[in-house]
Amino acid sequence: MQVIDQVKTDYARFPQGQSYELYAEDVYFKDPMNEFRGVARYQRMIGLIERWFANIELELHGVEQPHPDTFITRWTLHFTAPTPWQPRISIPGWSELQLNSAGLICSHIDQWNCSRWAVFKQLFGSLVSPE
């Protein structure tokens, strides 16, 4: 349960002060925009989020543990996009995190509860014509 508690703490302060020591060196990461291995690449990705976006909030809705080595977080990521009109973007989703035998996160897979198109429409809302 210690990893889950730390992940909850990390979500509350995301993207600052993340606990990268919870991740295996060769962690597998996948989301609708990225797919890679390695905790160093994961750190770089979080760093880019921190540098590019403003007013970032990762709202945690709940945590489930369907298996001893797997837990699922349900969340909504909110941020202000770095465009002149600064739209507020909200992406609801969930993450499946798997632990290895050492108790480290070896797989982190994010899914969005919306399409990339839905996010694009939030970004360019007034510029996208209605369907």
pLDDT confidence of residue 126: 56
pTM reported for the whole predicted model:
0.90
Question: pLDDT tens digit string along 13-40?
Answer: 999 999 999 999 999 999 999 999 999 9
pLDDT confidence of residue 7: 96
Question: pLDDT tens digit string along 51-95?
Answer: 999 999 999 999 999 999 999 999 999 999 999 999 999 999 999
Instruction: Report d(CA 118, CA 69) in Å as an integer.
Output: 32
129 domain residue, yes or no: no
Burial (CB count within 10 angstroms: exposed 0-12, middle 13-18, buried 19+), residue 97: buried
Identify the CATH number of the domain in which residue 27 sits. 3.10.450.50
Number of domains in the chain: 1
65 domain residue, yes or no: yes
Instruction: Report d(CA 83, CA 121) in Å as an integer.
Output: 14
The DSSP symbol for 17 reads T
Q: 98 to each of 16, 25, 45, 75, 101, how far by Cα in Å?
A: 22, 14, 19, 17, 10
82 domain residue, yes or no: yes
pLDDT category of residue 125 using cuts at 50, 70 and 90: confident
127 domain residue, yes or no: no
